[in-house]
Amino acid sequence: MNAPAHASLDDKERVFDRIIPDKFRPIIDRNACLNCKRCVKECSFGALEWKDDRVVYKGGCVACQRCSAMCPARCIEIATVPSGLPPHASYTERVRQGINAQASSGGVLLCSCGTDMPYGMIFDDLILDAAQVTNPSIDPLREQVETRTYVGRRSSRVMLSGDGYVTESDGSGPVVAMDMPIMFGHISLGAVSYNCQRSLFQAAKDLNILAGSGEGGLHADFLQFADHINGEVASGRFGVTPEYLRRTAAVEIKVGQGAKPGHGGHLPGEKVSDLISQTRMIPLGTDALSPYPHHDIYSIEDLQQLIAALKESVEYRVPVGVKIAAVHNVAAIASGVVRAGADFITIDGFRGGTGSTPRVIRDHAGLPIEVATAVVDKRLNEEGLRNRVTVCAGGSIRSAADMIKVIALGADVAMVCTSALIAMGCQVCQSCHRGLCAWGIATQRPELTSRLDPEIGARRVTRLFHAWNEELKEVMGAMGIDAVESLVGNRDRLRYFGPNQKIAEVMGVKHVGEGWG
């Protein structure tokens, strides 16, 4: 594969771009095609063009499925293209793609969404228990199965008088009541479109749950949903105003994020539109880079001061929490966070989503949420702290089954992001950081954002979470559990069926075949 002798250095180097072909390619049934050009218009990545009186493929397909879904003749199929590269167990196609991309750019590889590395899902190795004979099940269609959940600080210990009255407690704080143990994680305006965030907030209101604001404050239009918004305070402090703190239902300090532990926020300049610039109070079209650490937090004592300052700011009316990434020492860190005065703690596992992050961090740093949740719950119980705090856990909660298992591992609330976006049309093509989302979700381009109707988005997400909550009731009924708080940390209702018993031991889950007690 030689370039002509007279070609420039750049021309000669372009030959390397052809070594790694596209991973996907649209296959068009020419007999059925109406030549309406709809697919060309819908492809925001410019992979299709109209040429010589027909639609032709230019390259760059990300398999977002938009052209296929919108084709009136249903004549487009997205096919996976075999690489044709010689196979190698160590230097896989993915590894070689990365090497070539960096040899061309000299930069950090960016990516989005949760990691797609083939790590096993521990959730899939866990099996739920069910009631039989001596522990009768409950029919949720005929009996009450309670899923109401509270986010905030509780008393860890109470003293009762002889006639049953509380005579002494170590104090509780403000709480937020939710109708189900699910909340939307922090998905910022900027990472996603105005219509997407409006869909999430409307769904949170309809479901009576919380939705994270994400970094960057709150657009004025969304103050109407403030009673259902968990306002984030990240290291960049973008968009954090007195009104923002006063109006939201809860406030959360973001110390870490599962997809990029130890890393700051990164919103590419392509996504900083007028609307984002005004909301975040940052210059138009520039990258919004949050510092890696909070520059006023270098110890638990520093964190304690910020928690106290925020509680003063909100006049102790709403709970103040802390979000940390799941890392190797997560249990000890969580203990410190609770001792620093957090009313709730959110643990974000390493499969958690993101709108943009260095791929090397997303794919290689952190801890699975299943393990992190279990070790945090165990540590807080051992130290007598567990009852003080609400534990929220997320990082690839894909279904009601994952939600139920993470609760049994020790979480009070399951935090969900990607599944909600999938309900709105996301195909997890991992191109959010490019700002070209064809479904109007992870983009700020007006011609694309208008593709997502916020009412439809809210309706679909509401239905999804309602279905998950109904499935939660079904499973709890089958287990003979009548309130979700009795499932929290109840690892004896789980059994491990995977290949590595050590993981089960770390989580405190018995192997299949082992009985109770």
- Residue 80: Cβ-neighbour burial (10 angstroms; 0-12, 13-18, 19+): exposed
pLDDT of 274 reads 87
% of the chain exceeding 70 in pLDDT = 97
Does pLDDT of 337 surpass 60? yes
pLDDT of 287 reads 84
Is pLDDT larger for residue 236 or for residue 233? 233
Q: How far is 121 from 369, CA to CA, in rounded Å?
A: 10
Does pLDDT of 238 surpass 90? no
Does pLDDT of 249 surpass 70? yes
Question: Is-contact 68 462, C-beta < 8 A?
Answer: no
Bridge partners for 160 per DSSP: 166
412 DSSP assignment: S
Is pLDDT larger for residue 180 or for residue 163? 180
% of the chain exceeding 90 in pLDDT = 79
Local confidence band at 156 (pLDDT 50, 70, 90 cut-offs): low
Q: How much is the average pLDDT of 226-238?
A: 93
Residue closest to 442 by CA, chosen among 463, 417, 467, 464? 417
Q: How much is the average pLDDT of 384-410?
A: 96
Q: How much is the average pLDDT of 414-427?
A: 97
* Cα distances (angstroms) measured from residue 439 to each of 81, 175, 342, 464, 516: 23, 36, 37, 18, 48
Bridge partners for 393 per DSSP: 347, 414
Does pLDDT of 1 surpass 50? no
Amino acid (1-letter code) at residue 55: V
Local confidence band at 260 (pLDDT 50, 70, 90 cut-offs): very high
Is pLDDT larger for residue 362 or for residue 20? 362
Question: Is-contact 344 151, C-beta < 8 A?
Answer: yes
pLDDT of 517 reads 63
Does pLDDT of 2 surpass 60? no
Q: How far is 213 from 417, CA to CA, in rounded Å?
A: 12
Q: Work out the mean pLDDT of the chain and round it to a whole number.
A: 93
Q: How much is the average pLDDT of 310-326?
A: 96
Cα 302 to chain centroid distance, Å, stands at 27
- Residue 482: Cβ-neighbour burial (10 angstroms; 0-12, 13-18, 19+): middle
Q: How far is 263 from 290, CA to CA, in rounded Å?
A: 9
Q: How much is the average pLDDT of 143-150?
A: 95
Pick the range with the lowest mean pLDDT from 137-151, 280-294, 353-367, 431-445: 280-294
DSSP-derived 3-state class of residue 400 = helix
Q: How many CA atoms lie within 13 A of 104 on its CB side?
A: 18
Local confidence band at 169 (pLDDT 50, 70, 90 cut-offs): low
- Residue 402: Cβ-neighbour burial (10 angstroms; 0-12, 13-18, 19+): buried
pLDDT of 167 reads 67
Pick the range with the lowest mean pLDDT from 202-216, 256-270, 394-408, 463-477: 256-270
**What residue spans of 146-225 are helical by DSSP H?**
194-207
Amino acid (1-letter code) at residue 406: V
Range among 158-167, 233-242, 411-420 rated most confident: 411-420
Question: Is-contact 491 508, C-beta < 8 A?
Answer: yes
pLDDT of 218 reads 93
